[in-house]
Copies of this chain bind each other. A is one copy, B any other.
Amino acid sequence: MDELFVTTVVASWKQVFNRLDERFALLDQEQLQKQVAPNKNRLVYLLGHLTAVHDRMLPLLGIGERLHPELDEAYISNPDRTIADPLSAADLKKAWNEVNTAITSAVEGFLVDDWLKKHNAVSDEEFSKNPTRNRLAVFLSRTNHASFHTGQMALAK
């Protein structure tokens, strides 16, 4: 029963990820320059942003070192169109896949107890007060964050 609970949570992540992945796969370098709406983020910014945010999940969930810290300045610390894109579209898509493959394969090995361990941005003291600040909470929050930006991408034609 526990296993099925975990499988269902990971299936939800994969569904969100696959939808984004299909969308990104269809876009070439030029199409990625489109904005989701007038004066809003470019698609490539959202691809970079999601890759960087997911890359940060590796240390946060205690499943590995970061693979692409070079994306943070352009896609997390600064708004769109203020810093040059650090990677080509092809390399950014490669990074996106690399990061998500690392996360998916790590969490597929998680047992229920692993999900309920504290994540690495919360202190032992905080966690003992609030045990919902666990890895599952981070994972669900990032799945919803990806859906948030998927909704924006759907507006770009």
Contact = CB atoms under 8 A, between A and B. Distances in A.
A155 interface: yes
Interface of A is mostly: helix
Contacts of A115: 5
Across the A-B interface, give the 9 residue pairs with the lowest CB-CB distance, nearest first: A148-B151, A37-B37, A151-B151, A147-B147, A12-B140, A144-B147, A151-B152, A147-B148, A8-B136
17 contacts: A2-B2, A2-B5, A4-B131, A4-B134, A5-B136, A8-B116, A8-B136, A8-B137, A9-B136, A11-B137, A12-B140, A12-B144, A37-B38, A38-B38, A40-B155, A140-B143, A148-B148
A108 B42 CA distance: 39
Nearest to A140: B12
Interface residues of A, number: 37
A141 B12 CA distance: 7
A15 interface: yes
B116 A5 contact: yes
A152 B46 CA distance: 13
B4 A116 contact: yes
